[in-house]
Amino acid sequence: MVDGGSTDGTQAIALSSGVRLIHCTRGRARQMNEGAKQARGKSLYFLHADTLPPIDWLEQLRHHGPLPCCFRLCFTGQERVPLLRLYASFTRYDLPAFRFGDQSLWVLRKDFQAVGGFPDWRLLEDNELVRRLRRYRGFVVLDGHVTTSPRKYLRYGLVRTQATYVLLYALYRLGARQSYLTTIYRRLLS
Domain that holds residue 122: 41-149
61 in any annotated domain: yes
My answer on whether 4 and 83 are in the same domain is: no
Contacts of 182 (CB under 8 A, 6+ apart): 122, 123
Amino acid, res. 49? A
124 in any annotated domain: yes
Render pLDDT for 94-143 as a digit per residue (tens, 0 to 9): 899 999 999 999 999 999 999 999 999 999 999 999 999 999 999 999 99
29 in any annotated domain: yes
My answer on whether 49 and 141 are in the same domain is: yes
Number of domains in the chain: 2
Render pLDDT for 138-189 as a digit per residue (tens, 0 to 9): 999 999 999 999 999 999 999 999 999 999 999 999 999 999 999 999 999 9
8 in any annotated domain: yes
12 in any annotated domain: yes
DSSP annotation of 90 reads G
My answer on whether 60 and 36 are in the same domain is: no
The verdict on pTM exceeding 0.75 is yes
Q: Diameter of the chain by CA atoms?
A: 45
Alpha-carbon torsion (116, 161, 69, 41), positive or negative: positive
